[in-house]
Amino acid sequence: MTFTYDAAQDCLLDKTILITGASDGIGRVVAAEFCARGANVIALGRSQEKLEALFDEIEAASPGRIIIHPLDLSTATSEEFATLAGALAEQFDALDGLIHNAALLGARSPIEYYPDSDWDKLMQVNVTAPFKLTKALIPALLRSRDARVIFTSSSVGRVGRAYWGAYGVSKFALEGLMQTFAEEVGNISEISVMSFNPGGTRTAMRRDAYPAEDPMSQPTPESLLPLYLYLMSPSAKKHHGQALDARGFEG
C-alpha cells in the first residue's frame, strides 16, 4: 500500500530545513518540494555545478526559498561546520529540520579484501560528517518550536548483509547515533529524532549497487514525498527515537 498524506500547500511555510546530498536523487526532489511548500531550504552538496542547476530550477518556481552551500563531506572540517552554523544563525531564527541524506556506497566486497581507503572515506562521509554537522547545529535546532532530525538509513543497516562492508556498518552506526541523540534530547527539547529507510529507489546509487536490475522496477524519489512531508509534520513527533521504513509505512 502506498502511503498518502494530505498536506496543505503551505504546510512548511517559513520552516528552515537543511538537507545534505541535495544535488541528486532523493535529496534533490525533497528540496524542491519543501521549497514549493514554503520552506527555506539550505541545500548542501559537493557539486557546485549541480547545486547551481538546482538553485536555478527552484528559484524559478519558488523565489527566495533556496540557499545552496557547496561542501565536500569527505574533507569537511569541524571549523567548516561551525562556519555553516554561524551563517545559518545570522540569517534564520532557528533550524526546524535537518535531513542527513548524503552517503557514499563504497566497495562491496568481503571484509578480508575491503580497501582501507574506501573504509576511511566512507566512514567520514556517512558517519563522522553527520555527527559533526548535527553537533554544530544543535543550538539552532534547540531554538525551534518543533524540530526534526532525520538520519537516512538502509535495510543493510538494520540487519547485517555480507559484502556490504563499510556502507552497511556505517548505517548501523547512524542508527546508534540516532538512538543516542534521541535519548539525550527527548525530554529536554522540542527536537524529534528518527531514522528513515527509503528502501529501493530509482537513484544513481541504486544503479551502482544493483547494475543488473531494471531501474524501472523501483519507485521514483518523487513517490517518497508524502512520507517526507509527513515526517516534517507535527504528527510525526510520536516517532521520536524510532527506526522507520518507507515500505509498508502507515503513519
Question: Catalytic residue numbers?
Answer: 167
Tell me the sheet residues that pair with 45: 70
H/E run at residue 179: helix 165-185
The residues, ordered by sequence, that sit 6+ positions from 160 with a Cβ below 8 Å of its Cβ are 168, 172
Tell me the sheet residues that pair with 20: 44
State how far the Cα of 60 lies from the Cα of 63, in Å rounded to an integer. Answer: 6
State how far the Cα of 82 lies from the Cα of 136, in Å rounded to an integer. Answer: 6
Cell readout for 191 is: 527536537
Residue 188: CB atoms within 10 Å: 8
Alpha carbon 164 to chain centroid, angstroms: 20
Burial of 219: CB neighbours in 10 Å, binned 0-12, 13-18, 19+? middle
| 3-state secondary structure (DSSP) of residue 89 | helix
